[in-house]
Amino acid sequence: MTTDVIVVGAGPVGLMLAGELRLGGVDVVVYDKLPVPPRESRGASFTRRTAECFDQRGLLGRLGEVEPADSHLGGVRIDLTQAEEDHSGVRGVSQFRTERMLEGWVGELGVPVRRGHEVTGFRETPDGVTVTFDGPEGPGEDTAEYLAGCDGGRSAVRKLAGIDFTGSAPRRGFYTADVTGIETRRRLTPEDLPGGSMVLSMDLENGVTRVVVHEKGMAPRDRDSLSYTELADAWQRLTGESIHHARCRWLSCFTDASRVAAEYRRGRVFLAGDAAHVQPPAMAQGLSVGVQDAVNLGWKLAATINGWAPDGLLDTYHAERHPIGRQLARNARAAIELRLTGEEMDPVRDLIGELVSHKDAAGHLAGMLSGLGIRYDMGPGDHPHLGKRIPPNHRLTLPNGTHTRIADLLHTARGLLITTTPETHHLNEHAQNWTDRINTITATWHPHQHPTPDATLIRPDGYIAWTTPQTHHHLTHALNHWFGTARTPA
């Protein structure tokens, strides 16, 4: 084998997966068909849970100053102040900025990113995958144990693998551009206009403004045939504002189609991000769910290559993430219909608006849209925290008096066992035969936080795999289930 994993696609998802794999101690190479990183920014926001994923690896601060974003479903605002914790996402961060940050990170980890290489095929053997490509110096090939397709909605890896990609056909078209030299009212959430039209404008960085427009009856079309004048004409018809004089840095179009891959894993081939699910770019979901795919898959794939993964661990990637992809497609379709269907949808909008005025309904929707409501099946146990993410801002005090956060303890992408009372400290000793793959911490929780368990086992992706009051026998089961058989004591 030339390397352990080949990742196809150097967007946010592919780069995040490459970094996760490298933190797990495996060799990875990223291939991308573009000769240079794109300057355009298809995504400009991400959800709260994705911000937490970046924070868990020490990456959020590298993005610099970020602006919080509120939450809505198809224009129906969800009051996040009713929630017990912050559900707000991040907006105004260009995808170029995110990719630049991630490429710097994987470069520090020693991951090569080979640009100008377009995948043309692959063949799978019992021991690995051989990938063929056209590169700057002509055709070539590379071999690895596993192949990950993070190469977007038109994924070559998915097509070559023959994985079905089904869902709703496109019905509407949207025009979008990044421009400079305009002054227009900020419309940070899409502004609905009579008859099923909408516009959006958002400041990015360096004087760049993102504009999006949909005019009722605007059909899907080929992006190569779109002119900026057409977008500016539509904008003026809907807003009365002229942006014809702007300098257009990037122009594209998208549709309201939603599709999900039937399989996130087939043999030695995996799909993540837009290669696994596409949807209209509503509610900052596409990039966000893709990054979470990468964080879910990375440690499991690394564990398998390192030889300690329990049976079936790789299969939990599809089991845990495919339902999220289906939910994403459904939510995006619902949001588009709520926003762009005409006045006949008004009773539904009013009903949803009334429902989300209630704390429980608002909390459920906020958790679903922010990603904070995800709960994975961790096996036996009914503790309300089990299977949910542990808030990365929860603070602890170590025995030496140092204060730290959960996020800081997850930077290494290893499992984590935290014990916080004298009655549970012995559990660290119980877990010693897994310390080649998990860290054990004795600490006390910072006061004035939400109720926290006395002892908690956390997976590398930040989700709780075991917690008191379950017994140490349940802890042993959880360690074996997620981290494999204990090493034999020396």
224 contact partners, CB below 8 Å, separation of at least 6: none
Return the CATH class of domain 395-483.
Answer: alpha beta
Q: Are 390 and 407 in contact (CB under 8 A)?
A: no
Say what the pLDDT of residue 284 is.
Answer: 60
Q: What is the mean pLDDT of each run of 10 residues along the chain (490 residues)?
A: 95 98 98 89 81 96 81 71 68 83 98 98 95 95 98 97 94 93 79 81 85 91 90 94 94 92 98 95 78 99 97 98 95 83 81 84 84 91 90 93 96 96 87 94 85 90 92 90 83
- What secondary structure letter does DSSP report for 114? E
- What secondary structure letter does DSSP report for 375? B
Say what the pLDDT of residue 489 is.
Answer: 62
CATH code reported for the domain at 3-168+258-370: 3.50.50.60
- pTM of the full predicted structure? 0.93
Max Cα–Cα distance, the chain, nearest Å: 76
Closest CA to 464 of 373, 383, 360, 389: 389
Radius of gyration of the chain measured on its C-alpha atoms: 23
Show me where the domains of the chain are located: 3-168+258-370, 173-255, 395-483
pLDDT digits (tens, 9 = 90+) for 198-235: 898 888 878 889 999 999 889 998 888 899 999 999 99
pLDDT digits (tens, 9 = 90+) for 414-445: 999 999 988 888 898 889 999 999 999 999 99
Query: Do the first three CATH levels of 3-168+258-370 and 395-483 match, i.e. the same topology?
Result: no
Topology given in CATH for the domain delimited by 173-255:
Alpha-Beta Plaits (3.30.70)
275 contact partners, CB below 8 Å, separation of at least 6: 9, 13, 149, 150, 151, 152, 153, 155, 157, 158, 261
> CA 359: distance to chain centroid?
26
